[in-house]
Amino acid sequence: MNRSLISQVSMLLFTCTLGTRALAAGDAAVLGGTVADAQGHAINAQISLQDASGHVVAQTTAGPDGRFQLDHVAPGTYAATVEAQGYGAVARIATVTQGQMPDSLAIVMRKDSTLDVTVNAQRLDRARNGLLPEVGASVYRITQADIDASPQGANTPLNQVLLQAPGVANDSYGQLHVRGDHADLQYRLNGILIPEPISGFGQSLDARIIDQLNLVTGALPAQYGYRTAGIVDIRTKTGDTGNGGTIDVYGGSHQTIQTSADVFGSSGPFSYYFSGSLGQNNLGIEAPTSDGSPLHDHTRQGNGFGYMSYLLNPLTRVSVMFGTASNQFQIPNTPGLTPVYTLNGQSSFNSADLNETQSELNNFAAVALQGTNGGALDYQVAFFTRYTRTKFNPDPVGDLIFNGVASEDFHSNQANGVQSDFTWRLNDSHTVRAGLMFQQEHAVFDDSVSVFPVDANGNQTSDQPLTIQDSHSQTGYLYSLYVQDEWKLAPKLTLNYGLRYDRMDEYVQAGQLSPRIGLVYQPTNATTLHAGYARYFTPPAFELVSDATISKFNGTTNQSPSSQNDPVKPERADYFDIGITQRLTPALTVGLDAYYKRATDLLDEGQFGSALIFTPFNYQYGRVYGVEFTSSYHQDNVSAYVNVAFSRAQGKNIVSAQFNFDPAELAYIANHWVSLDHDQRITASFGGTYTLGMTTFTADAIVGSGLRSGFANTDRLPWYAQINLGVIQHFNEPLVGKFDARLVLVNAFDRVYELRDGSGIGVSAPQYGPQRAIYAGLTKHF
């Protein structure tokens, strides 16, 4: 019984109390009536009669004609409540007297608009999900419940959520590498592509907004292009299912404190979800030394997200999404460095006192019109925008003394575009999907670089620095079209085939027509096999490609080791994928997947300066292959998973942005296959939960064989492992209500490990993984 009806009945019972005192008792009587909707159609409703004390004295159900009758009712005043599925409940005062006519009570019921809105929203959600096919690809799903049950819960950074998926390798600065690719991830929120921000230290999306996350990899359907190593398809929380929210406080080691909140709900056809988080700590970036408390590593981070939708009618919805992330970082220091240069007569500086900082901002918004005709046609048309910027602030004295360069770097990028997707169910055998995407980007590069003059041998010739301005901007365009057919060849066999055309007009102009084909065979309910082929066209990250004039820095401490600077080109690749999923028992499912990618102009990225802004470059040839094993177990109060992946990623002959590389390294790579810097042969993740009453014990872990290092990536770092433990206590107390308490131990066994040692292709500084830390949190549900 809803709150509105309860309040009505309470008033009626009060009225009944007064009325009963004025009525004399008599022989039993009859109360009857009819129940119908506003159009006069009979309703099969349940009717109950309550006396002044709230006791139910009689109950019945209306017949097919809507008529009902309650016999043997003592004369008096009662509260009659009428309820029927799909209708708002009705409460009426009913006065029963001897000789009363059987049809004295006429009830008119109205449709429950809340139920209608929920049903319509769910119908449109299913239609939107149907726009995104997965036939032939590999999919790993992570739900809101999975995230909440992990050690850090909704406070887990998004990159660490993804690290629990198979084939995802960890790297410094929050980077991820899926199946041997550098980044190349595409993020979609509710089916809408959100352009990527400029790479930085912070995460742009908060894990607490996730209702379900699907990581789609392998041979992707024609729907997906632009970024193809993995599709991070996030279905956000909404307010369609009710009203409520949470407040969360989380903190502990490294002076960590973070407060977060979200609220959701609906009113008629309008629903909403809003989330926000603010926090700070003293471990913003991985430490450059094995010291668990690095110097000068404070960070302040905040983000917000909003989703609103409005049902124009039962088959059409308009929605708005927006988000922001603002992050400030100190760059941690390495004590004991030896000064190299002299500035205005000063040749000493304590490297522990360096003061480099970086600020990052990422804003995005999207508005979408989505609908269905309830049968054959579904569609979504969305307009999106994104603004991102990164500002690196050097130490104007210390950077010159240690590096000979103090560069104040400002990069920004504004992207606007439109995306449309359509699904047409031609018949029971064919589902046709088509769509287009257009995006315009405008990138701004504004660098102010202080350097020293040098002679032909690179020796400093003056202790007075020069300041060189290096500023420019560029506008670029991306165009995409696709069409595909999901063909059910047989009840257990589905073929998805299609074509995709991509075109880029940026620093270079190029395009490609790409065939895609995927096959899924399900011989039994427990066994699923898939295989696919995809031709890929991957433009370089436009916001990272700079048209800098490297000759400006000739004769200075910022002179490039090479003068060659061919433009960065799009990667073109052939991708093959095959896999099987087997449910061994109702509780245990395992899977095995193998992939191979052959590429020309293979894209990679490296950090070649002091600012954490990556620069893309191409290998003329590339090959990536691997195998993934997955398993999951769910039985009663126990759940667990284990993922293990083998991967090998290699390139040969660097053919763009060569000025960033040492000539000896370029010459070696020109004639040898080398491992990419993010190539990690073995990557594993595992975890699980055990619930005992109101207590949940939880753990997760990552294991890696080490990223590459040394000259031309010919060496690798040692194996590493990190295990996180947590315990969650659920409470439901009088007055306070529901809340959760959480205790977390990060890197429980305090394994000190190095992610990077400062060597390797495009690697400029060492980074260590986090050492043991303790955190605690409280989450209040309302």
Report the candidate in 215, 334, 208, 221 with the shortest Cα–Cα distance to residue 277: 208
Report the candidate in 179, 125, 184 with the shortest Cα–Cα distance to residue 626: 179
Dihedrals phi, psi of 538, to nearest 5 degrees? -120, 105
Of residues 548 and 243, more confidently modeled: 243
Nearest 5 degrees, angle CA 506-CA 509-CA 515?
110
Mean pLDDT, residues 397-416? 94
Among left, alpha and beta (phi > 0; psi -120 to 50; other), residue 294 is beta
pLDDT in tens, 65-111: 888 888 888 888 788 888 887 677 787 878 787 665 555 788 888 76
* Residue ranges of domains in the chain, CATH in brackets: 3-111 (2.60.40.1120), 122-781 (2.40.170.20)
pLDDT in tens, 688-717: 999 999 999 999 999 999 999 999 999 999
Give me the DSSP letters along 325-365.
EEEEEEPPB-TTPPP---BTTB----GGG---EEEEEEEEE
Report the candidate in 585, 577, 578, 579 with the shortest Cα–Cα distance to residue 526: 585
SS3 category, 712: helix
Of residues 620 and 32, more confidently modeled: 620
Please give the mean pLDDT across all residues of the chain.
89
Of residues 594 and 63, more confidently modeled: 594
The lowest-confidence range among 106-115, 362-371, 537-546 is: 106-115
pLDDT score for 202: 76
Run of H or E residues at 632: strand 615-635
Report the candidate in 552, 490, 495 with the shortest Cα–Cα distance to residue 520: 495
Radius of gyration of the chain, Cα coordinates, nearest whole angstrom: 32
pLDDT score for 291: 87
Q: Is the confidence at residue 149, as pLDDT, over 90?
A: yes
pLDDT score for 238: 93
Report the candidate in 639, 665, 640, 635 with the shortest Cα–Cα distance to residue 653: 665
The lowest-confidence range among 135-139, 285-289, 626-630 is: 135-139
Instruction: Let me know: does 594 contact 627? Beta carbons within 8 Å.
Output: yes
pLDDT score for 30: 84
Could you tell me what percentage of the chain is helix, strand and coil, using 3-state DSSP and rounding each to the nearest 5?
Answer: 10, 55, 35
- What proportion of the chain, given as a percentage, has pLDDT over 90? 69
Give how far the C-alpha of residue 179 lies from the chain's centroid of Cα atoms, to the nearest Å: 18
pLDDT in tens, 490-539: 999 999 999 999 999 999 999 999 999 999 999 999 999 999 999 999 99
Q: Confidence class of residue 679 from pLDDT cuts 50, 70 and 90? A: very high
The lowest-confidence range among 275-284, 721-730, 732-741 is: 732-741
Instruction: Let me know: does 590 contact 691? Beta carbons within 8 Å.
Output: no
E strands, 426-554, are: 430-451, 466-490, 493-505, 509-524, 527-538
pLDDT in tens, 577-620: 999 999 999 999 999 999 999 999 999 988 776 566 778 999 99
Q: Is the confidence at residue 13, as pLDDT, over 80?
A: no
pLDDT score for 640: 96
DSSP-assigned beta bridge partners for residue 777: 250, 742
Report the candidate in 471, 453, 403, 460 with the shortest Cα–Cα distance to residue 554: 453
The lowest-confidence range among 50-54, 664-668, 681-685 is: 50-54
Mean pLDDT, residues 231-260? 94
Q: Is the confidence at residue 733, as pLDDT, over 90?
A: no
pLDDT score for 14: 45
Run of H or E residues at 667: helix 663-671
**25: its two tokens:** 């008792």
Whole-Å CA distances, 57 to 9, 48, 66, 513? 15, 8, 21, 74
User: In degrees to the nearest 10, what's the CA dihedral of 553, 555, 560, 563?
Assistant: 90
Q: Is the confidence at residue 673, as pLDDT, over 90?
A: yes
pLDDT score for 123: 64
pLDDT score for 6: 47
Q: Confidence class of residue 648 from pLDDT cuts 50, 70 and 90? A: very high
- What proportion of the chain, given as a percentage, has pLDDT over 70? 92
Whole-Å CA distances, 28 to 69, 92, 102, 180? 13, 20, 14, 83
Q: State how far the Cα of 131 lies from the Cα of 150, in Å rounded to an integer.
A: 30
Q: State how far the Cα of 520 lies from the Cα of 135, in Å rounded to an integer.
A: 6
pLDDT score for 3: 46
Instruction: Let me know: does 207 contact 154? Beta carbons within 8 Å.
Output: yes
Residue 611 makes CB contacts below 8 A (sequence gap 6+) with 358, 390, 392, 407, 409
**What is the amino acid identity at position 658?**
Q
Q: Is the confidence at residue 218, as pLDDT, over 80?
A: yes
Q: Confidence class of residue 12 from pLDDT cuts 50, 70 and 90? A: very low
Q: State how far the Cα of 12 lies from the Cα of 51, in Å rounded to an integer.
A: 10
